């Protein structure tokens, strides 16, 4: 080794560098989640760091534009560079691409067909489907449409629509009957949406097609808006009352993971099943 070469860093030194990065990222996350700003002491306590260490890391993040400090209020806020990085993620993300591996995992768990759908012009449109291996299974090709009031995903998305926007939407809907189980009474439909909001999942009990049952849960974006739904569907002979709770919990868990991986958050008054 010549005199101009630097010795290789030890494992402990490399580990120390990674640890500092992890601590800085944790500080950045806490600052980001405190939308109204956060004090140095509070953010240090949240990540379990001495105030001096937290200040050193925050000062570095500030120099790089990831956080900013308001001296008058002595509060730390997210910086413009963090917004730039986050916005790049928003531009690059693809809901179907994010959801597909988790849809496949759900299908493997429950051995029923799994769907991803969004609202479009007052109807549900399917974006993707992972078919199960059963001989008898539900099929809905990408692009297929279903009225919102007769589908599990449709009712879920309506249930998590803000109240001031929901009423005019439902007022314009024609609660058309497709089967004997289709909900066509407005009062009952409104109650169903309230129940879905409380329990966190929706159910289609042969309401669009005889013999077909579906369970759905919402996927949220970063603004805590329900932008899509994931559902599993199968024949009533397999999606029985006895299996219903278990299947609903599986769908909710998958929706929670997709929401997180998509960069979203559920509404503050609602928590998906862990």
Interacting residues of 225 by C-beta distance below 8 A, sequence separation 6+: 160
Average pLDDT over the chain, rounded to whole? 85
Segment 223-246 mean pLDDT: 90
Determine the topology of domain 11-90 in CATH: Arc Repressor Mutant, subunit A (1.10.10)
Assess whether pLDDT exceeds 80 at residue 142: no
Q: Given this chain, do its domains 11-90 and 93-261 carry the same CATH topology? A: no
Alpha carbon distance 215, 112 (integer Å): 11
pLDDT, tens digit, 9 for 90 and up, residues 143-160: 788 999 999 999 999 999
Is the pLDDT at 263 greater than 50? The verdict is yes
pLDDT, residue 84, reads 75
For residue 91, the model assigns a pLDDT of 59
Q: What is the pLDDT of residues 24-40, one digit of tens each?
A: 999 998 998 887 899 99
CA 52/CA 44 separation, integer angstroms:
9
pLDDT of residue 272: 45
- Domain spans, the chain: 11-90, 93-261
Q: How many CA atoms lie within 13 A of 39 on its CB side?
A: 7
Question: pLDDT class for 85, splitting at 50, 70, 90?
Answer: confident
- Residue 13 has what pLDDT? 42
The pLDDT tens digits of the residues spanning 96-121 come to 889 999 999 999 999 889 999 998 87
Q: Is the dihedral of CA 96, 88, 259, 18 positive or negative?
A: positive
- Report DSSP state, residue 150: G
Between the CA of residue 237 and those of 165, 185, 212, 241, 265, what are the distances in Å?
A: 37, 27, 9, 10, 35
Task: Report pLDDT digits (tens) over 174-193.
Answer: 899 999 999 999 999 999 99
- Which residues, at least 6 apart from 181, have a Cβ–Cβ distance to it below 8 Å? 205, 206, 207
Give dist(CA 136, CA 139) in Å, integer.
10
Top-tier CATH class for 93-261: alpha beta
Confidence check: pLDDT of 228 > 90: yes
């Amino acid at each position: 080794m010549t005199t101009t070469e630097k010795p290789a860093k030890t494992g402990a030194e490399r580990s120390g560098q990674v640890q500092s990065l992890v601590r800085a990222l944790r500080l950045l996350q806490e600052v980001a989640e405190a939308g109204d700003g956060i004090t140095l002491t509070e953010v240090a306590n949240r990540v379990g760091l001495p105030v001096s260490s937290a200040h050193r890391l925050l000062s570095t993040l500030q120099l790089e534009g990831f956080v900013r400090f308001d001296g008058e209020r002595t509060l730390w806020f997210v910086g413009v560079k963090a917004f730039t990085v986050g916005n790049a993620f928003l531009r690059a993300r693809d809901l179907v691409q994010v959801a597909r591996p988790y849809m496949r995992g759900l299908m493997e768990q429950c051995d029923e067909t799994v769907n991803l759908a969004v609202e479009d012009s007052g109807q549900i449109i399917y974006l993707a489907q992972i078919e199960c291996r059963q001989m008898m299974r539900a099929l809905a090709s990408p692009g297929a449409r279903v009225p919102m009031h007769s589908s599990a995903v449709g009712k879920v998305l309506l249930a998590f629509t803000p109240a001031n926007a929901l009423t005019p939407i439902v007022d314009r809907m024609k609660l058309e009957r497709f089967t004997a189980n289709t909900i066509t009474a407005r009062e009952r439909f409104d109650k169903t949406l309230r129940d879905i909001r409380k329990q966190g999942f929706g159910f289609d009990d042969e309401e669009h097609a005889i013999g077909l049952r579906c369970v759905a849960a919402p996927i949220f974006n970063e603004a805590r808006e329900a932008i899509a739904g994931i559902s599993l569907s199968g024949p009533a002979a397999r999606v029985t009352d006895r299996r219903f709770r278990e299947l609903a919990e599986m769908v909710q868990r998958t929706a929670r993971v997709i929401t997180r991986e998509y960069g979203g958050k559920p509404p503050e008054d609602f928590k998906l099943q862990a």
